[in-house]
Amino acid sequence: MKKFRIGFAVLALGLMSFVAATNFTLDLDKAHSHFGFTIKHLGISDFNGQFTKFDTKLTATADDLSDAKIEFSADAASINTGIEQRDNHLRSADLLDTEKYPEIKFVSTSVKKEKGNNYKVEGDFTFHGVTKKVALNAVLVGKTVNPQSKKEAYGIKFTGAINRLDYGVGAGFPEQMLSNEIKFTADLEFAKSAE
């Protein structure tokens, strides 16, 4: 009988560990999220724009997100700089060629928790039909409970930069006109849901 009780206790602990390791998903709150970029114009000013159609899915088992898996995609044609003529040119074959390369995509391969609420996120970034390894910085800005939905909400900020020439973007434009570096910033809000 004693062996049975010990075996049952071990089984119960194992089941508790399994439950504790259950995956959860963070679904993007699109109404409170933003995906933007910055590129320097003529070497003297930062020019900003955004992509208005994008989605992100984040899954994890650890509450501190240290084992998170992140998938991000954006519609390249949704680029918006506030001037329609310029946006149409950005969509053209001169630059993004959005008809041929409609999707911007990032899939994480590792997430490493660093000091405080900072993370280093590495993964495959696909832009203009080219996929390369990139490293992003992420900050868990905070967690709270949304008083309307009653769901736990997470705010996460991602930042990173690429060289546009590595992706074949705007090769006809010299760096004196458009900087080779493009900086990306994603301010994202998520709602937590159990799987």
pTM, rounded to two decimals:
0.85
For residue 138, the model assigns a pLDDT of 97
The single residue listed with the structure tokens 């680029």 is 79
Please provide the DSSP assignment of 122-139 as one string. EEEEEETTEEEEEEEEEE
- Residue 45's alpha-carbon distances to 35, 40, 41, in angstroms, are 20, 6, 5
For residue 14, the model assigns a pLDDT of 44
Query: Which residue intervals of the chain are DSSP H helices?
Result: 2-20, 84-91
For residue 8, the model assigns a pLDDT of 42
Domain boundaries, the chain: 23-194
In this prediction, the residues of the chain whose per-residue pLDDT falls under 70 are 1-21, 194-195
For residue 141, the model assigns a pLDDT of 95
Architecture of the domain whose range is 23-194:
Beta Barrel (2.40)
DSSP, res 82? S
For residue 150, the model assigns a pLDDT of 84
